[in-house]
Chains A and B, each alone.
Chain A
Amino acid sequence: MKNKITHIISLSYSLAKANFKVRNEASYLGILWYLLSPLSFFLIILHLRTTLSLDQGIEHYPVYLLLGLIMVNFFSQSVASSIDIIRSNANYIKTMKVNYEVFILSTVFRATFSHLFELVLVGVTLALLDLSLFGVIYYIPILVLYFFFTLGVCFLFSAIGVYFNDLKNLWTIASQLLLFATPVFYLVKEESPLHSLNLFNPLFGFLAAARDVTIYGTLPSLQLILVLIAVSVFFSALGLFIFNRLKRSFAELV
């Protein structure tokens, strides 16, 4: 059992590394692309913030925005690429006895690589704002929880994606809604209806906790920490459970 898990993790890591390489070697800008897409969105919003009065007195707005942006990106891109990951690996699945889990795990690993690159941008922004870089260290445990939450959702979506092609299109819309409904570039006041809506949005909690430790140098409330742990455990268990129930027929369906 332990051997199997080590094997799955190391294989996923190799696959993620290979994929990462494939993506970057064919392009001129390579890994810079990972930084350019959040960076461009970041600059647009930053530019619009006074016109649209988005910042509502948010302290250290640029880094508030950037951290939120890359976290939502991490989630929605992991899910987007896991939806058809089983289908796109059909050649392996049909001709080899492999643990299908490696494909999903490698997707989230790859997203984590790029997230770490983007985190460098956060560090730069923090430094430009004369803030301490120390908070980034406290971000790591939150990222670990966020990783498992994302992984669970990816397991879920990759399994369902085998049965429903439409999920891919659906997610393009859903992930945009998520980006705008989650307080990424604005602040949700506690009395607003959006706040109660966001209580059902797991990303909201992760973003709040991450911003607390990284930017504002405060620890999130114990209650929030417990909720985040529960959310990540629940989603990874649920995802794995559903995936395991459905995976037996993958080879026939792709």
Chain B
Amino acid sequence: MKRIIVKNLNKEFKLNRKGGGSVLSHLLGTFSGGKSQKLRVADDLSFDAGAGENIGIIGRNGSGKSTLLRLIAGIYDSPKGSIKTEGSLVYLSGFGQGLQQLLSMRENIFLMGAMMGLSNSEIKEKFDEIVDFSGLKEFVDAKVFQFSSGMLTRLNFSVMIFCVKHQNPDILLLDEVFSAGADIDFQERAIVKMEELIHGGATVLLVSHNLKMIGKYCNRTIWLEKGKIRQMGNTDQVVEAYLQAASGRLNS
């Protein structure tokens, strides 16, 4: 059974006319015939993923990895090509999801949980587990702006992981979620939790620069370059080719 089917997906971003210019600049742009530059962020992408399959996505910065996940998640609108997904879907990004600096950790957990779609009573149920897992019990009522970046990572990750586990999605889109910053203790626990999630039967698309992680969890890997699929197939082969290309660039 296919969970994700992507066919001939195309997506362009307008570069110069990033939304919200002033009226004047719009007018000037029209008069001077200023053409907005376009960037192709997804270029005729086609692939599919079966139930329970884990697929890695690698590529250099700006090659369209996050864009692809956001297109699949429906965060970006995709006018061209088709994306079909089957079942419930969760998109997770490791880049802080808006903790409120002036709120306490407790309030942030409730707010983030609500943003992730849990009801108040569901969060209450999970609350102690989340706090225990984060190891930040003594700071539950402290304001988040005083937290160190490692503590923020802990908090962010703990809330995320428990909310996702609760939702138990069929498709999991993970965008660089193994962000470092937390200490070894926490990283080890985090990886165990992450593995539970990845091996829990969901279809996983994993975007990461951590090739070890990709090698460990994914049997198939997609290598993106400038929005195109450069290579797709067995993880070991793709990662090797990717590394070769990288060392080639370094040597030249």
Chain A residues in the interface with B (C-beta under 8 A): 7, 10-11, 14-15, 18, 21-22, 25-26, 87, 89, 91-98, 161-166, 248-249, 251-254
Q: Are B102 and A91 in contact (CB under 8 A)?
A: no
Which chain A residues border B102 with CB–CB below 8 Å? 21-22, 25-26
* In the complex with contacts A18-B111, A22-B102, A92-B98, A164-B22 CB distance below 8 A: yes
Which chain A residues border B216 with CB–CB below 8 Å? none
Q: Are A98 and B115 in contact (CB under 8 A)?
A: yes
Which chain B residues border A92 with CB–CB below 8 Å? 97-98, 115
Which chain A residues border B74 with CB–CB below 8 Å? 97
Tell me the smallest distance from the CB of A167 to a CB of chain B, in Å. Answer: 9
Q: Is residue B23 within 8 Å, beta carbon to beta carbon, of the partner chain? A: yes
Tell me the smallest distance from the CB of A26 to a CB of chain B, in Å. Answer: 6
* In the complex with contacts A162-B20, A163-B19, A165-B20, A18-B103 CB distance below 8 A: yes
Q: Report Cα–Cα, A164/B110, bound state, in Å.
A: 33
Tell me the smallest distance from the CB of A193 to a CB of chain B, in Å. Answer: 30
Q: Are B77 and A248 in contact (CB under 8 A)?
A: yes
B residues contacting the other copy or chain, number (CB 8 A): 33
Which chain B residues border A165 with CB–CB below 8 Å? 20-22
Q: Are B20 and A87 in contact (CB under 8 A)?
A: yes
Q: Are A162 and B75 in contact (CB under 8 A)?
A: no
Q: Which of A18, A96, A162, A166 contacts B116 (CB 8 A)?
A: A96
Q: Is residue B62 within 8 Å, beta carbon to beta carbon, of the partner chain? A: no
Which chain B residues border A14 with CB–CB below 8 Å? 110-111, 114, 120
* In the complex with contacts A10-B119, A94-B75, A97-B73, A253-B100 CB distance below 8 A: no
* In the complex with contacts A94-B75, A251-B75, A18-B22 CB distance below 8 A: no
Between A and B, 19 residue pairs with Cβ closer than 8 Å are A10-B120, A14-B114, A14-B120, A15-B111, A18-B111, A22-B100, A25-B102, A26-B102, A89-B98, A91-B97, A92-B115, A94-B75, A95-B91, A95-B93, A95-B95, A161-B20, A163-B20, A164-B22, A253-B19
Q: Are B23 and A166 in contact (CB under 8 A)?
A: yes
Closest to A161 in B: B20
Q: Are A252 and B97 in contact (CB under 8 A)?
A: no
Closest 8 CB pairs of A and B: A253-B19, A248-B77, A95-B93, A91-B98, A22-B102, A14-B114, A165-B20, A251-B75
Q: Are B91 and A96 in contact (CB under 8 A)?
A: yes
Closest to B110 in A: A14
Closest to A93 in B: B75
